[in-house]
């Protein structure tokens, strides 16, 4: 562990008597954490008392279910790119939050969980303490890369610092700190100033930069593929794309890195065509899952990977070049190292191909009409939070996205029901822009109880619920692929408008894209509480032929 450097002030040297809980809260504040999303309980009472004392510097946003607390933290982390914190009780509290933690892991999102524990001396004995769960630490260690238990007041600040560093170092992602019910309230003299550990930047391999630059400069049909790891390198991706006249493919987590109005900005179906033609592909902060798993690879294609995780580039196949570290710094070096060269513009070619693909995608006309209404009303800097629903699947392919971190999609977990609570966290952390959550009637009821949280904390989130009376995606599959044997996919719903109103939210029904536009205008004007718009919809055409597509390279 690197040594902590503190400025030599008397205050920093002084020791102050603090409880473990107080030391933890001080340490969070020292790291710039200004909010904790939480649901209390006896195991964490001293933590909440410490939060009460520190309320001027750190806000506590309590939710109505532990999954809500964790999703709010996740949404805040995704909307800001900054670490966020949630806290829940052990056992059921931890498990209630676990799907969000899993999603945070899959998305490499910096979320710190503070989880209670039974009395320190009883851990592992199976006595039947309140909320006891067998091997809680072992369960946690399977879910995240960094976890530890705070066992004394003096350990609190150093462990918070280590967790927050681990969340940003190498492969970023969530971390967990446990603390026993009898340890939170214990006090001891601790250093007055909490340590903050620097995050060392991985050294850039200049030889590999040269290698990558040469391959890209020599490439005849270069393609760039971006994932969530490129969200903070948008300017560099745009520069490189322009220099190379290389199209930039983004699907779920990479949307918004290159502005959709740029004709070089493409999504899956056109991206697959370009993958089939490419001689050099540069993957930035992406697993290249669809490319490798579905579209294939052969000896004619050289793949260059930029990734924060040293283990990632080799997972599918050994790349021609792997550059490990921060995408932004690596791309800057790569652009500087690129031999001067001029390429003819591909604008006309790409505009024509985009238009052709767009005509094929017209098959999704009902979805497109709603997406057009959304795009017309959601401001350029507004944030769209995706769900596992028909409009969401189409949005990943077709919604124009203009800026990084304005399209928030759950990545490979494709975790139904994550949307509303995640969007609530995004809206809480970004009160300066409108956030729009979309959901199906199925997914919405997973976390719609957090309407109460939105009203209580006056969070002005807008949600559109597309109501087809079904787990529509499942039902359509049963109809089309299983001889119409429809089972477990029809839904009995509440009246969503009256449901939302009963929480104190504003709500209305929109029966067409035009009505949706008017409803969105009204909703985005409200800044003191949540709005819901219910849109009754029929079954929609399947998007899957544009998502799961056959091989274009390698053995067939």
377 binds ligand TPP (CB under 6 A): no
Pairing verdict, β 15-19 and 187-191: antiparallel
390 binds ligand TPP (CB under 6 A): yes
Q: How far is the CB of 466 from ligand TPP (least distance, A)?
A: 6
309 binds ligand TPP (CB under 6 A): no
473 binds ligand TPP (CB under 6 A): yes
For the chain, the C-alpha Rg in angstroms (whole number) is 25
Which among 80, 81, 139 is positioned nearest to 113, based on CA atoms? Answer: 139
Separation in Å, CA 12 to CA 28, 155, 218, 297: 16, 16, 55, 56
Separation in Å, CA 97 to CA 73, 88, 110, 376, 388: 11, 8, 15, 35, 19
Q: How far is the CB of 492 from ligand TPP (least distance, A)?
A: 12
455 binds ligand TPP (CB under 6 A): no
**DSSP characters for 483-545?**
TT---S-B-----HHHHHHHHT-EEEE--SHHHHHHHHHHHHH--SS-EEEEEE-------GG
* 442 vs 529 by CB, closer to Mg ion: 442
Specify whether the CB–CB gap between 46 and 24 falls below 8 A: no
Site residue total, ligand TPP (CB under 6 A):
18
388 binds ligand TPP (CB under 6 A): yes
* 170 vs 366 by CB, closer to ligand TPP: 366
Which among 204, 202, 215 is positioned nearest to 319, based on CA atoms? Answer: 215
As to burial, measured by CB atoms within 10 angstroms (0-12 exposed, 13-18 middle, 19+ buried), residue 8 is exposed
Rounded CA separation 247/350 (Å): 8
Rounded CA separation 540/261 (Å): 26
Taking CB under 6 A as the binding criterion, the range among 171-179, 396-404, 436-444, 547-555 that sits at the site for ligand TPP is: 436-444
| Contacted entry of ligand TPP, Mg ion, none for residue 247, CB cut-off 5 to 8 Å set by kind | none
441 binds ligand TPP (CB under 6 A): yes
Q: How far is the CB of 289 from ligand TPP (least distance, A)?
A: 16
Instruction: Give me the residue whose beta carbon is nearest to ligand TPP.
Output: 440
| Contacted entry of ligand TPP, Mg ion, none for residue 260, CB cut-off 5 to 8 Å set by kind | none
* 107 vs 470 by CB, closer to Mg ion: 470
Pairing verdict, β 280-284 and 222-226: parallel
Q: How far is the CB of 271 from ligand TPP (least distance, A)?
A: 23
209 binds ligand TPP (CB under 6 A): no
Classify the phi-psi angles of 216: left when phi > 0, otherwise alpha if psi is within -120 to 50, otherwise beta: alpha
The neighbouring-strand residues paired with 86 are 37, 113
* 349 vs 495 by CB, closer to Mg ion: 495
Query: What 3-state class would DSSP assign to 465?
Result: strand
Q: How far is the CB of 461 from ligand TPP (least distance, A)?
A: 18
What secondary structure, in 3-state letters, does 82-124 show? CCEEEEECCCHHHHHCHHHHHHHHHCCCCEEEEEEECCHHHCC
503 binds ligand TPP (CB under 6 A): no
Per CB under 6 A, the list member of 158, 173, 443, 530 interacting with ligand TPP is 443
CB atoms within 10 A of CB 494: 12
222 binds ligand TPP (CB under 6 A): no
470 binds ligand TPP (CB under 6 A): yes
Per CB under 6 A, the list member of 468, 500, 503, 552 interacting with ligand TPP is 468
| Contacted entry of Mg ion, ligand TPP, none for residue 416, CB cut-off 5 to 8 Å set by kind | ligand TPP
Site string for ligand TPP, 395-434 (x = CB under 6 A): -------------------xxxx-----------------
- Give the tokens for residue 44: 């964490």
- Give the tokens for residue 81: 């790119």
Q: How far is the CB of 418 from ligand TPP (least distance, A)?
A: 8
The neighbouring-strand residues paired with 324 are 307
Instruction: Give me the residue whose beta carbon is nearest to Mg ion.
Output: 440
Specify whether the CB–CB gap between 106 and 422 falls below 8 A: no
Q: Which residues sit at the interface with Mg ion, rule CB under 5 A?
A: 440-442, 468, 470, 472
440 binds ligand TPP (CB under 6 A): yes
The neighbouring-strand residues paired with 111 are 84
Q: How far is the CB of 388 from ligand TPP (least distance, A)?
A: 5
354 binds ligand TPP (CB under 6 A): no
Per CB under 6 A, the list member of 407, 471, 496, 524 interacting with ligand TPP is 471
Q: How far is the CB of 512 from ligand TPP (least distance, A)?
A: 17
85 binds ligand TPP (CB under 6 A): no
* 393 vs 407 by CB, closer to ligand TPP: 393
Taking CB under 6 A as the binding criterion, the range among 2-10, 14-22, 23-31, 441-449 that sits at the site for ligand TPP is: 441-449
DSSP label of 202 = P
* 96 vs 473 by CB, closer to ligand TPP: 473
Rounded CA separation 255/475 (Å): 28
Instruction: Give contact residues for ligand TPP (rule: CB under 6 A).
Output: 388-390, 414-417, 440-443, 466, 468, 470-474
């Amino acid at each position: 562990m690197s040594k902590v450097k503190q400025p030599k002030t008397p205050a920093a040297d002084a020791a102050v008597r603090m409880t473990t809980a107080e030391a933890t809260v001080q340490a969070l504040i020292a790291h710039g954490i200004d909010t904790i999303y939480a649901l209390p309980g006896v195991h964490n009472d001293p933590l909440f008392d410490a939060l009460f004392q520190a309320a001027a510097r750190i806000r506590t946003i309590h939710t109505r279910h532990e999954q809500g607390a964790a999703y709010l933290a996740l949404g805040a982390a995704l909307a800001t790119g900054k670490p966020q914190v949630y806290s829940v009780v052990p056992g059921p509290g931890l498990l209630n939050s676990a799907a969000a933690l899993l999603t945070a892991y899959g998305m490499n999102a910096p979320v710190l969980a503070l989880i209670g524990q039974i009395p320190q001396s009883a851990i592992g004995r199976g006595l039947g303490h309140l909320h006891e769960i067998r091997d809680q630490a072992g369960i946690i260690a399977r879910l995240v890369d960094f976890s530890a238990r705070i066992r004394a007041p003096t350990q609190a600040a150093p462990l918070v610092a280590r967790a927050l560093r681990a969340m940003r170092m190498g492969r970023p992602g969530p971390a967990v700190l446990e603390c026993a019910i009898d340890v939170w309230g214990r006090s001891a003299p601790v250093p007055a100033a909490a340590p903050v550990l620097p995050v060392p930047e991985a050294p850039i391999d200049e030889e590999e930069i040269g290698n990558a630059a040469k391959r890209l400069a020599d490439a005849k049909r270069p393609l760039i593929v971006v994932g969530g790891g490129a969200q903070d390198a948008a300017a560099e991706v745009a520069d490189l794309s322009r220099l190379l006249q290389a199209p930039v493919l983004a699907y779920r987590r990479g949307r918004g890195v290159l502005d959709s109005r740029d004709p070089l900005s493409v999504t899956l179906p056109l991206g697959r065509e370009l993958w089939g033609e490419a001689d050099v592909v540069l993957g930035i902060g992406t697993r290249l899952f669809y490319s490798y798993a579905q579209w294939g690879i052969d000896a004619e294609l050289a793949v260059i990977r930029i990734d924060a995780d040293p283990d990632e580039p080799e997972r599918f196949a050994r790349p021609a070049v792997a550059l490990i570290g921060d995408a932004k710094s690596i791309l800057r070096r790569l652009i500087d190292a690129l031999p001067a060269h001029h390429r003819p513009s591909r604008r006309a070619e790409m505009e024509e191909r985009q238009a052709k693909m767009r005509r094929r995608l017209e098959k999704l006309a009902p979805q497109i009409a709603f997406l057009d209404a959304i795009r017309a009303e959601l401001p350029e800097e507004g944030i769209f939070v995706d769900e596992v629903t028909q409009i969401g699947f189409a949005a990943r392919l077709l919604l124009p996205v203009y800026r990084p971190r304005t399209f928030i999609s759950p990545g490979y977990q494709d975790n139904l029901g994550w949307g509303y609570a995640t969007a609530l966290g995004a809206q809480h952390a970004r009160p300066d822009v409108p956030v729009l959550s979309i959901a199906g009637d199925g997914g919405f009821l997973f976390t719609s109880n957090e309407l109460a949280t939105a009203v209580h904390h006056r969070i002005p989130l807008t949600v559109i619920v597309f109501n087809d009376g079904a787990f529509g995606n499942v039902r359509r599959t049963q109809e089309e692929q299983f001889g119409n044997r429809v089972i477990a996919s029809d839904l009995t719903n509440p009246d969503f408008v009256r449901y939302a109103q009963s929480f104190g939210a504003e709500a209305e029904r929109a029966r067409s894209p035009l009505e949706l536009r008017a409803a969105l205008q009204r909703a985005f004007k409200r800044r003191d509480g949540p709005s819901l718009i219910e849109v009754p919809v029929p079954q929609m055409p399947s998007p899957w032929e544009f998502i799961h597509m056959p091989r274009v390279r390698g053995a067939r």
